[in-house]
Amino acid sequence: MPGIVWLNGDLSPLETATTSVADHAHLYGDGVFEGIRIYHHKIFKLDEHLERLYHGVAYLGFKMTLGSKELRATILEVCKLADVDTGYIRLNVTRGTGLGVDPKGIPSIPNVMVMVSTLNLFPSEAYEHGVSAVISPIRVIPADSLDPRVKCIGRYASSILAKHLANRQGAGDAIMLNHQGYVAEGTAMNLFIVKDRVLGTPLPASGILEGITRNTVIVLAREAGYKVVEEFLTPFDVISADECFFTGTAAEVMPMTSLEGRDINLGAVGQVTQDIMSRFKAHTNTGTPF
Ligand SMILES: Cc1ncc(COP(=O)(O)O)c(C=O)c1O
């Protein structure tokens, strides 16, 4: 996995980049991150990712020393140095360096990392045949504990537990429910269903990360004439859907063709899903050049 890393102003190869062991995200998960795709030598949805990152920092209650414009320029610069046509940017911001949970003990100097590398979440066959999923007994962390719209590093322990469970059951991913039993999302992906050519997806109030790919797909689908409804969905809605797919920066648009061992669309990728996949692919050309 080649790559380069910019960490607090210093550049190094990915293999040798290091951060302090007392970094507050390393100790407690206290920070936010973004995964961003590079397609066709352009950064996809850069401003949307930056906006979500800065909102997350404000929610966690610390201040960035680097302004959004400066960070944007840094990301473009690091991408230029990496000179990749297709790639994956990992942007991490942590509260800073120091021991102890109490934020008072942390000097107000966040650690900022921009990593440019590559990422293939699923094998290419998965995009042709879809992935299977199970319903996770591990639920999403409720909004009154940690707002799911904040892409907080520490939050991912529950996603990892759910993914570990999916792995043990031989499934491609796990669908996580909220505490009312409504469908929230995959372990690091949003979920869509298709019923009678109408797209349905959980409301933000279902406990989801409001995915940038999700929002892009909603816009692209509506432009293409599909009706898209944000709603509370139950596992029954998913199992009885005509088609299902996941969305995410890393996963892109990934068909889901079976749930808990029951086939969806006879186990094949549906027509609407294929249409959305090709519209999304065409849209990946719209990023910010570097
Ligand atoms: C929990 C969770 N939900 C949804 C998504 C999809 O969000 P996006 O499309 O912004 O990548 C992610 C992405 O990592 C995620 O971690």
- Give this prediction's pTM: 0.97
- The alpha carbon of 41 and the centre of ligand 1 are apart by a number of angstroms equal to 22
- Residue whose Cα lies nearest atom 5 of ligand 1: it is 189
Burial label for 171, CB within 10 Å (0-12, 13-18, 19+), is buried
**Interatomic CA distance for residues 181 and 151, integer angstroms:** 22
- The alpha carbon of 159 and the centre of ligand 1 are apart by a number of angstroms equal to 11
The CA R_g of the chain, rounded to the nearest whole Å, is 19
Quote the tokens at residue 21. 């062991």
Which of 141, 173, 190, 215, when mutated, tests ligand 1's pocket best, judged by the most ligand atoms within 8 Å of its CB?
A: 190
Active site residue 195: no
Quote the tokens at residue 85. 């046509």
Quote the tokens at residue 137. 């007994």
pLDDT digits over 130-159, tens only? 999 999 999 999 999 999 999 999 999 999
* pLDDT mean values, one per 10 residues, the chain (290 residues): 91 95 97 98 98 98 96 98 95 97 92 95 94 98 96 98 98 98 98 98 97 98 98 97 98 97 97 98 97
Name the residue among 95, 94, 54, 88 with its Cα closest to residue 71: 54
What is the CB-side half-sphere exposure of residue 86 using CA atoms within 13 A? 7
- The alpha carbon of 2 and the centre of ligand 1 are apart by a number of angstroms equal to 24
What is the per-residue pLDDT for 1?
62
Residue 231, Cβ neighbours under 10 Å: how many?
Answer: 14
Q: Give the list of residues 6+ apart from residue 167 with CB closer than 8 angstroms, or none.
A: none
**Interatomic CA distance for residues 17 and 40, integer angstroms:** 26
Residue with the two structure tokens 């990496």: 82
Q: Is 170 left (phi over 0), alpha (psi -120 to 50) or beta?
A: left
pLDDT digits over 174-213, tens only? 999 999 999 999 999 999 999 999 999 999 999 999 999 9
What is the CB-side half-sphere exposure of residue 265 using CA atoms within 13 A? 25
- Annotated active-site residue in 69, 151, 163, 281: 151
